């Protein structure tokens, strides 16, 4: 059986309510992905039920992105939310387990919104001594 994929454009303001509908229908949270597209971030929230994938998609500005947490619906989302907060600088409102920027240790804050990563020097070694 080949899976079915659907992409549904939504607004960030409706994310929690729409996510709750997915849970109530028996869908599981599969992943949350953030992709940088120029000066915007595209956020995809993927759900699955019996190999039927539904993806919620919306965009936010690269700088100043803000989304509501879905941890009140899927508690496990705290990992994804901390990840994209640390790597992309997205403000997540209401995350049930917020690591406050310490989920990942990176050489620079929010590395995936920068155009180029800094080149380490002898005075600035990579984390882990590499």
Which CATH number covers residue 30? 3.30.460.80
Cα distance between residue 68 and residue 71, in whole Å: 9
- pLDDT band, very low/low/confident/very high, at 115 (cuts 50, 70, 90): confident
The domain total for the chain is 1
| Domain boundaries, position 84 | 4-115
> What distance separates the 2 farthest-apart alpha carbons in the chain?
55
Q: Tell me: pLDDT of 126 over 60.
A: no
Query: Is residue 58 a part of any domain in this protein?
Result: yes
Query: Span 44-64, mean pLDDT?
Result: 96
- pLDDT band, very low/low/confident/very high, at 25 (cuts 50, 70, 90): very high
- pTM here is 0.84
Query: Is residue 95 a part of any domain in this protein?
Result: yes
Q: Cβ distance 53 to 31 under 8 Å?
A: no
Residue 1 CB coordination number (10 Å): 5
Sign of CA dihedral 12, 16, 21, 27: positive
Query: Is residue 120 a part of any domain in this protein?
Result: no
Average pLDDT taken over every residue of the chain: 90
* Secondary structure (DSSP) of 64-122: S-EEE--TTT-GGGHHHHHHHHHHH--EEET-TT--TT-SS--SSSSGGGSSSPPPP-T
More confident residue, 84 or 108: 84
Query: Is residue 108 a part of any domain in this protein?
Result: yes
Query: Is residue 94 a part of any domain in this protein?
Result: yes
CA terminus-to-terminus distance, the chain: 45
Query: Is residue 79 a part of any domain in this protein?
Result: yes
| pLDDT above 90: percentage of residues in the chain | 72
Q: What share of the chain is helix, strand, coil (3-state, %, to 5)?
A: 25, 30, 40
Query: Is residue 124 a part of any domain in this protein?
Result: no
Query: Is residue 125 a part of any domain in this protein?
Result: no
> For position 107, what pLDDT does the model report?
83
């Amino acid at each position: 059986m080949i899976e079915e994929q659907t992409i549904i454009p939504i607004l960030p303001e409706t994310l929690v309510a729409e996510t709750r509908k997915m849970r109530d229908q028996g869908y599981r949270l599969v992943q949350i992905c953030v992709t940088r597209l120029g000066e915007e971030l595209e956020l995809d929230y993927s759900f699955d039920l019996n190999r039927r994938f539904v993806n919620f998609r919306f965009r936010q500005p690269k700088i100043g992105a803000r989304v509501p947490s879905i941890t009140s619906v899927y508690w496990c989302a705290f990992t994804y939310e901390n990840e994209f907060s640390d790597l992309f600088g997205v403000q997540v409102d209401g995350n049930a387990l917020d690591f406050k920027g310490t989920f990942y240790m990176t050489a620079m804050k929010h590395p995936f919104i920068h155009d180029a990563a800094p080149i380490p020097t002898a005075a600035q070694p990579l984390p882990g001594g590499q």
